[in-house]
Amino acid sequence: MSSHFVKNCHHRGFVHDEYGDRLGAFEDCAKDFWHSVMTNHHGVKLDITGRDEAGATFDPLALYRLFEGQFNIPRQQLMHIAKASGMTSPVLWALPSAYIRFRLGSIAKDIIIDDSNLIQEQTNHTNCENLTDEEVLDACSFRGLPCGLDQSYDSMRRCLSNYLAMMEIVHNEIGTKGLVGHINGTMFVLHLQAIRLKLDKINNSTV
């Protein structure tokens, strides 16, 4: 058994566990979103255009615009966003809200810039075939896309491609600089996966 295989096996196991931990937080984030954001936008719908293992796909600009003016984030909601974003500190509950906001802004910035680079390379136009399996795994884990042991690399490539296709629309309309460091961009990026999963569940329950 090669050392590379052992390292890859261990890494996949770690990513699997981390993704599992984030799923519950995604549900909490989606509930917060519906309570704090959608209740202020009566009649607004996020029309589903498709789906994959990561959840529903829809017009991302419609979601982005819902976050405009959403600056007051209660402590509990902030904690849900932090957990959904992969912040795993055992003392997360004790960290100052200002620090958590700073870290969330940093996480969102890194995702936005990485998205921009992958979009410029037209990665999603080739189903992410230009990325190695390890790069695809890391990219999905970074964004909260499905990356458990039950997911094949083909499935992860499909999810990453569809995610980047949605992000390409937002980057083209708002601009990467307009997303980085702005509360709208941060909230949109850190909530996207939670809302995709929730919309998919709602759609399936009404079929």
Domain residue limits, the chain: 3-206
Share of the chain above pLDDT 70, in %: 93
Share of the chain above pLDDT 90, in %: 73
**What is the model's pLDDT at position 5?**
45
For 10-69, what is each residue's pLDDT tens digit?
889 999 999 999 998 999 999 999 888 887 776 678 889 999 999 999 999 999 998 887
Mean pLDDT of 175-203: 92
Least confident window among 36-45, 78-87, 106-115:
36-45
Q: Are 46 and 195 in contact (CB under 8 A)?
A: yes
Q: What is the dihedral of CA 171, 175, 176, 181, to 10 degrees?
A: -120
